[in-house]
Structure 1
């Protein structure tokens, strides 16, 4: 992929825990050649085709579900138990979504302190809920894609005899709604788009306007008459994880008392990732400045990308061993002064732990996925016509939203953040 030369103004405006701020006026024409009108036209055509095919599939599925629903879905019940004894929350599948659901568990616990709150989650994200003190139990789902795993999960749910089942999925996933529908709970709640409403006693219309994921999740509490104000993130990192992480940091050469900037380059889709060469250049700038230590971190799937960054660097960063557990990741993030990353699960976990972050947001829907809280800086090319395309592969073949953010600009942002941050590595 040819790398366009970034020519952004140096007076980059920064986001501090609020919606992104564009570099240029939205109606201003691009002068750097990153996105030409022909490419923009092709992108729009591709997006339109994708949307048409998706709508056709959703329409056919909805028609089938609504037609067959009255024959295959258990009858809806009237009334909602006012004092639930057992509540089941059906989680979404990714780390970031799971972290952003923690405030909902806090609301449920505060309102019903004697109720049992269980979570149905996959093996990957269950540790998020293990760190939440309001969780009574976790029902692990082996695979979110296997019908047999879901069938087994539904049998387990029915045996537990829950009073409320709340499905937090917002992407139209069918199997979580089916699990709620066949749970035998007196009250089943979830978003009812794409034919899912037949499985719920209280089916919520999916909002058309952009809303943050935390607010979408808390919106499932509306039928229960519960407050949708955002509480904090109640997460407790196990002491053993903190000790093990501190020992590992000392072993690999992290010096106490000096600022540590963590670099996590991973992301689900290629379009979400700032280029490896940019991470390498940024890391060298930090090391040459002497203002902070650079700690590269990631999971097993990020190791090739991390190796590429190290090979491109002139300096020698500190590398943390592959992180395989979410509790370990939380303990590691809690030792950073600042995390630089893409829009990813570690970003939302860090912001939930009140760790300052600098992140890059290109195709991602900003109003839905910006990090929560203060101390979060989002860099984004809002002057591009294609920004927020919400696609996993760049439709205009330039990756302009990521290449257009230079390492120098990010470095200046880091210097500003470190100057504001008095937190140092725990002694």
Structure 2
């Protein structure tokens, strides 16, 4: 058996965009793929049949209430020991370009081979046995870039779709709780965004909701990152969501406060289209095969576009979603509805 450790301890979207690489590795006869993630993105791999074991790395600022730094460090030590005992043949640094932290984990694994990426012209590291050079980041989609890591391993396959799985029981529970029985189309409005220039104003979400509801029978599922805006660990948009609900009286708006990634996956599974800013939620939607209207601010659409699903990308020369009008987003929503799934 060839034992592979894939290291992806970054954000939610980064891990989702790595799932085609994981699938390609796991498809090799006699290969076993284990993955090191962080506690923040761990639920992305729930139900993924390509992953044999998940190791969890917790960052100190993500520790739970009442959990000490020493407890987090002790868990980290246990993870290191478990990885060393596994005796990996290959460690894959699944990042757009290697850096010291994932490389440290690959080194701790004592893998016989370490595969990693770097920009053309950038030096590697003595511990990297298989350095893959690639064009400057942003010139190709991240999924395509990560697939370059397969070349030293003799694997030649095109990247497939994203792999994300919603829990069927949670989906059924949300369907019943919120009355999302499919009798009318269900469109998600996801209003949270980490970057300032990707935060669309509440009043434009309200105008968009009004336009969509006027176009025909539907339900609008409102999604957002839960919590207070001043939460130092995970800033949330509870106040923004409440403002939007108050601004949409009489509209078929269904606020769904998801408190976990599992709940977010279940809620999006019930939707026919998702309208959202670029970010982790956008990639969750694409991972579930949902058509996406993507509002891009100052991020690179070529590298981060929804992968493998019908989509409309909206990005102005100002590279700020605040310059997008509701009528523009509504038009993209309608265009996407008219396209066939294969377009």
What range describes the TM-score normalised by the shorter chain of this pair?
0.7 to 0.9
Aligned counterpart, 1:307: 242
Change in Cα spacing, 1:371 to 1:218, as seen in structure 2 (3 Å) is: same
- Equivalent runs, 1:9-48 vs 2, <5 Å: none
Give the Cα–Cα distance (whole angstroms) in 1 for the partners of residues 54 and 255 of structure 2: 30
Q: Secondary structure at the match of 2:159?
A: coil
Alignment pair present for 1:339 and 2:339: no
Aligned counterpart, 1:42: none
1:165 aligns with one of 91, 104, 108: 91
Give the Cα–Cα distance (whole angstroms) in 2 for the partners of residues 354 and 242 of structure 1: 15
Aligned counterpart, 1:102: 19
Give the Cα–Cα distance (whole angstroms) in 1 for the partners of residues 118 and 329 of structure 2: 41
The superposition leaves residues 262-308 of structure 1 with CA deviations (integer Å, 9 ceiling, x where unpaired) of: 10011121112222221121112222334422110123123222123
Change in Cα spacing, 1:276 to 1:172, as seen in structure 2 (3 Å) is: farther
Whether the aligned pair in 1 keeps the contact of 2:96 and 2:118 (CA below 8 Å) is: no
The superposition leaves residues 169-201 of structure 1 with CA deviations (integer Å, 9 ceiling, x where unpaired) of: 225542111111232111111125676623311
The superposition leaves residues 210-258 of structure 1 with CA deviations (integer Å, 9 ceiling, x where unpaired) of: 12110121111121121251123343333222222222222xxx45310
Give the Cα–Cα distance (whole angstroms) in 2 for the partners of residues 195 and 220 of structure 1: 16
Aligned counterpart, 2:311: 376
1:91 aligns with one of 1, 4, 8: 8
Give the Cα–Cα distance (whole angstroms) in 2 for the partners of residues 119 and 414 of structure 1: 36
Higher relative contact order (CA 8 A, sep 6+): 1
1:266 aligns with one of 192, 197, 213: 192
Where has structure 1 moved over 6 Å in runs of 4 or more?
144-147
1:410 aligns with one of 308, 319, 329: 329
What TM-score do you get using the length of structure 1 for normalisation? 0.69
Q: Which runs of 5+ in 2 are unaligned?
A: 62-68, 227-235
Q: Secondary structure at the match of 1:197?
A: coil
RMSD: 2.5
Aligned counterpart, 2:43: 127
Q: Which has the higher strand share?
A: 2
Alignment pair present for 1:117 and 2:33: yes
Q: Which runs of 5+ in 1 are unaligned?
A: 1-83, 388-400, 423-427
Aligned counterpart, 2:233: none
Query: Which has the larger Rg?
Result: 1
Give the Cα–Cα distance (whole angstroms) in 2 for the partners of residues 141 and 219 of structure 1: 25
Alignment pair present for 1:208 and 2:136: yes
Number of residue-to-residue matches in the alignment = 319
- What is the CA distance between 1:203 and its match in structure 2? 2.2
